[in-house]
């Protein structure tokens, strides 16, 4: 995928509060915190035993997280510059982008970038996400490891502005199935918006390969996606709880699998619009 196409494609997921698989769940917990009931269940389902010494030693884990943090620092710097460009583009059209919409946009790009950075660093260190997860649980109360993890948490907070210790309690009626339904409906709405905008621009005579087409596609998307998200959240009366609910279920294997299915469906529809991997 070209850099311009990739930037647009990343932005297309901005209205969906989907956490990618990876280590992002760590960034929403206080340093050294114990696992939640949901994560305990996930660990049990995967047959993990916290007392078993992991393959990765503490020094290796600190090196891996220092590398991830260093690469993500560059991402955050680029996001700050990109935020200004997006705002200027919106304002030049006499419109405004809300704080919530911009926050979702930046969070999505942070998550996408971190998922890619993680995989790069794992390859560099000849390890896997699963090995890192197991080692993270083993060293979660280690002072040296937590100092390194804290640096990455601060980057996440700088982008999201979130207080990691103040997530609201998720009611029992907000089940994992309901959260997945909401995310699926939101993503479906996003896809419909994208396809509609793509058709509008193609019918206007613009070439899908042109810079003008991509810029206009992203702009119109930002103008409309907030309404899609708001409508779905209002329908289920969950807007303020969705992020906390996703965090609650993040480590449950079946939840991750369903997220991947939703993501793959979205990616397939993006490819039909011309955002092809190369």
d(CA 65, CA 50) in angstroms, rounded, equals: 20
**Cα atoms found within 13 Å of the Cα of residue 249, Cβ hemisphere only:** 24
Query: In this structure, what token pair is assigned to residue 44?
Result: 């049990």
Query: Taking the chain, what is the end-to-end CA distance rounded to the nearest angstrom?
Result: 5
Q: Dump pLDDT digits (tens) for 152-167.
A: 888 777 666 554 445 6
Q: What is the per-residue pLDDT for 1?
A: 42
Return the pLDDT at 24. Answer: 66
Residue at token pair 């000849």 = 126
Please count the CA atoms within 13 angstroms of the CA of 117 that sit on its side-chain side. 22
Check residue 31 and give its pLDDT: 55
Distance CA 173, CA 93 (A): 42
Please check whether residue 185 is in contact with residue 232, taking contact to mean a CB–CB distance below 8 angstroms: yes
Q: Each residue of 14-45: b (16+ CB within 10 Å) or e?
A: bbbbbbbbbbbbbbbbeeeeebbebbeebbee
Smallest Cα–Cα separation from 189: which of 39, 10, 15? 15
- Cα three-residue angle 232-184-194, rounded to 5 degrees: 80
Output the CA torsion sign for 30, 252, 231, 173: negative
At 100-126, the pLDDT tens digits run 777 777 777 787 788 888 888 999 899
Distance CA 246, CA 160 (A): 15
**pLDDT tens digits, 167-222:** 678 888 999 999 899 888 988 888 898 889 999 999 999 988 888 888 788 778 76
Residues 13/266, Cβ–Cβ less than 8 Å: yes
User: What pTM did the predictor assign?
Assistant: 0.53
What is the structure's pLDDT at 29? Answer: 63
- Rounded to whole angstroms, the Cα distance separating 50 from 53 reads 8
How many CB atoms lie under 10 A from the CB of residue 98? 9
Q: Which residue has the higher pLDDT, 27 or 268?
A: 268
Residue 27 gets which letter from DSSP? G
- What share of residues in the chain are helix, strand, coil (percent, to 5)? 70, 0, 30
């Amino acid at each position: 995928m070209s850099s311009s196409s990739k930037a647009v494609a990343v932005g297309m997921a901005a209205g969906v509060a989907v956490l990618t698989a990876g280590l992002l769940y760590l960034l929403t917990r206080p340093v050294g915190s114990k696992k939640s009931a949901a994560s305990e269940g996930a660990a049990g389902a995967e047959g993990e035993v916290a007392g078993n010494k992991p393959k990765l030693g503490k020094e290796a884990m600190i090196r891996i997280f220092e590398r991830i943090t260093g690469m993500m620092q560059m991402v955050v710097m680029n996001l700050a510059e990109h935020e200004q460009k997006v705002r200027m583009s919106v304002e030049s059209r006499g419109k405004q982008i809300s704080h919530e919409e911009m926050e979702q946009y930046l969070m999505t790009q942070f998550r996408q970038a971190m998922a890619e950075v993680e995989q790069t660093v794992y390859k560099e260190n000849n390890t896997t996400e699963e090995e890192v997860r197991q080692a993270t649980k083993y060293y979660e109360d280690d002072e040296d490891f937590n100092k390194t993890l804290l640096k990455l948490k601060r980057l996440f907070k700088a982008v999201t502005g979130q207080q990691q210790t103040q997530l609201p309690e998720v009611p029992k009626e907000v089940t994992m199935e309901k959260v997945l339904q909401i995310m699926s409906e939101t993503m479906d709405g996003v896809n419909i918006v994208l396809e509609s905008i793509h058709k509008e621009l193609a019918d206007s005579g613009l070439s899908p390969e042109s810079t003008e087409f991509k810029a206009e596609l992203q702009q119109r998307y930002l103008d409309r996606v907030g309404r899609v998200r708001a409508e779905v959240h209002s329908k289920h009366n969950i807007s303020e709880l969705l992020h906390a609910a996703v965090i609650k279920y993040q480590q449950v294997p079946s939840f991750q699998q369903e997220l991947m299915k939703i993501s793959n469906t979205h990616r397939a529809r993006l490819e039909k619009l011309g955002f092809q991997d190369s």
